[in-house]
Structure 1
Amino acid sequence: MDSIFLFLIGTVFGSFFGLIIERFPTGESIIFGRSHCDSCQKMLAVRDLIPLFSQLISRSRCRFCHSKIPLTNFFLEFSCGWIFLFAWWNWLDLPAFLLLLLSLILSIFDLRQHSFPLGVWLIFAIIFISLFPSAFPPYCWLILAIFAEYFDLKIGSGDFLWLFTASFALSFLQEIWLIQLASLLGIFYYFLRKKRTEIPFIPFLTIAYLMLLLAPQIL
Structure 2
Amino acid sequence: MGILYIFIIGTVFGSFFGVILDRIPAHESIIFGRSHCNHCDRTLSLRDLIPIFSQIFSKFSCRYCHKKTSLIYLFLEISCGIIFVSGWLGLIDFTQFLFIILSVILSTFDYRYHSFPLVIWIIFTFILLLTSSSVLTDYIWLILSILAGIFDLKIGSGDFLWLFSASLSLTFLQEMIVIQIASILGITYFVIHKKRVEIAFIPFLTTAYISLILYQFIQSYFFK
TM-score, with length taken from structure 1: 0.97
Give the C-alpha shift of residue 218 in structure 1: 4.0
Given the alignment of the two structures, is residue 139 of structure 1 paired with residue 139 of structure 2, yes or no?
A: yes
In structure 2, distance between residues paired with 1:2 and 1:104 = 24
Q: What residue identity is the alignment partner of 2:146? A: I
Work out the CA distance in 1 between the residues paired with 2:85 and 2:35. 27
> Hey, what does 1:53 align to over in structure 2?
53
Instruction: Number of aligned residue pairs: give it.
Output: 219
After TM superposition, the runs of 4+ consecutive aligned structure 1 residues lying more than 4 A away are: none
Deviations 1:69-106 (A, max 9, x none): 11110111001001000100000101110111111111
Distance 1:154 1:64 in 2: 43
Alpha-carbon distance in structure 2 between the residues aligned to 1:209 and 1:133? 18
- Partners of 2:133 and 2:206 in 1: how far apart? 23
Please report the RMSD computed on the Cα atoms of aligned residues, expressed in angstroms: 1.0
TM norm structure 2? 0.95
1:15 alignment counterpart: 15
Distance in 2 between residues matched to 1:195 and 1:168, nearest whole Å: 33
Unmatched segments (≥5 aa) in structure 2: 220-224
C-alpha deviation, 1:182, in angstroms: 0.7
Q: Secondary structure at the match of 2:76?
A: helix
Q: Deviations over 1:24-64 (max 9, x none)?
A: 11110001111000000001111110101110110111101
Percent identical: 57
Match of residue 24 from structure 2:
24
Structure 2 CA distance for aligned equivalents of residues 194 and 166 of structure 1: 29
CA shift, 1:114, in A, is 1.1
Distance in 2 (CA, whole Å) between partners of 1:149 and 1:181 is 24
Q: Which runs of 5+ in 1 are unaligned?
A: none
CA distance in 1, matches of 2:114, 2:157: 12
The residue number in structure 1 matching 2:151 is: 151
Q: What letter corresponds to residue 63 of structure 1 in structure 2? A: R
User: Which residue number corresponds to residue 64 of structure 1?
Assistant: 64
Which structure 2 residues correspond to residues 166-205 of structure 1 after superposition, within 5 A? 166-205=166-205
Instruction: Report how far residue 180 of structure 1 moved.
Output: 0.9
